[in-house]
Amino acid sequence: MLLYEPTLERNMRDYGITIPIAISRPSQIMAFLTEQGEKFPRHTLASAAETLAIATPIISRADLERVHSPEYVASLYDPIGLERTILSTYELINDDGSYNRYEPDTATRPLTEIFQAQLEQVDGTYLACRLALADAGRFCFYLGGGAHHARYDAGSGFCILNDIIIALRKLLDEGHASLIWIIDVDAHKGDGSAELIQLSRQRGETFSGKNPEIFSLSIHMAHGWPLDEVSLAKAIPGHAPLVESDIDIPIESGEEVLYLPRLAEGLARMEQRTAGRIPDLALVVDGVDPYRKDGLASSAPLALSLAQCVARDRFIYTFLQKRCIPSSWVMAGGYGEHAWKPTAHFLASL
């Protein structure tokens, strides 16, 4: 099952943002799959909501406040607070107030529209999970989502809302699942998700008895997140970016050949750590910025070949299918003109 919403594609340059996010990544993937004659059943957000009889709007302010701090959520509904959050989250402003990769004079759309777009991304991630749970094939790939850096009380790393945790907490709250795995293979550590999971546990939430309801694995570059020494110096243990996932697998530069064995070992450990409990769902944060030809300079320390990226995704897919674990997949990081290829080739290989 594919979930693809063409109206959600955004050109960051419309907002005056010059970050090299390839706007056409989902549409390039779809074009490649069509060319390959793929036969996946597919949905848009509207058709998925209709099929599942889910009323719109899907994500409410209460859904955001279940995960993010009420003060932070309130700031997003305030135009001045929202603009401030977007400028810092997309790293558009320097300490001296000058702009970085941001040319507001060239913008044709209001910057604050990004919030609505991210809300729709949360809809997509939630719907992908519901589709995976309902689909006989136990598989749904959403060509969107994956904002794993968004924290409890702040945006971070181009992520304003953590669609992953918002969607999963909603699923748990509605009784659609009682144990969910997160398998995060983006080049950058899934630190926002890890922080939100830890904080919810500290508040006594996301437990069934003494067992965690969300269990996370992140395999990522050993270094390079946070991006700079200043952020690292300001970091507080127990909070993003220093907070730990349940299983963290750092990969050093030059260890690409060990990536797949380490991932396999991590998944085996995940199974042991939640022994006796088959998860109701696995959410795969399928970042392609580990790809050697990805356009983001900061993810260059991890450089998987196209074949290694596809092998990674096929390994996870097969691991979950063998265990009859439904999986929803979100796109996460991927930058520049080649970023569509790993996902396209993985899906075509199925």
62-90 b/e with 16+ CB inside 10 Å = b? ebbebbbeeebbebbeeeeebeebbbebb
Query: Three-state DSSP class for 328?
Result: strand
Q: CA angle 23-26-30, nearest 5°? A: 135
Q: Check if the beta carbon of residue 176 is closer than 8 Å to that of residue 280.
A: yes
Q: How far is the CB of 188 from Zn ion (least distance, A)?
A: 4
Q: How far is the CB of 292 from Zn ion (least distance, A)?
A: 14
Nearer Cβ to Zn ion (186/280): 186
Q: How far is the CB of 324 from Zn ion (least distance, A)?
A: 30
Nearer Cβ to Zn ion (120/286): 286
Q: How far is the CB of 270 from Zn ion (least distance, A)?
A: 21
Nearer Cβ to Zn ion (246/289): 289
Q: How far is the CB of 200 from Zn ion (least distance, A)?
A: 23
Q: Check if the beta carbon of residue 330 is closer than 8 Å to that of residue 8.
A: no
Q: How far is the CB of 150 from Zn ion (least distance, A)?
A: 13
Which stretches of the chain bind Zn ion, using CB under 5 A?
Answer: 186-188, 287, 289, 333
Nearer Cβ to Zn ion (145/326): 145
Q: At what angle do helices 113-134 and 163-173 cross, to 10 degrees?
A: 50
Q: Give the helix/strand (H/E) hosting 283.
A: strand 281-285
Nearer Cβ to Zn ion (163/186): 186
Query: Three-state DSSP class for 183?
Result: strand
Nearer Cβ to Zn ion (179/332): 332
Handedness of CA 190, 263, 273, 124 (dihedral sign): positive
Give the DSSP per-residue string, 207-257.
Answer: EETTEESEEEEEEEESS-SSSSHHHHHH--TTSTTTPPPSEEEEE-TT-GG
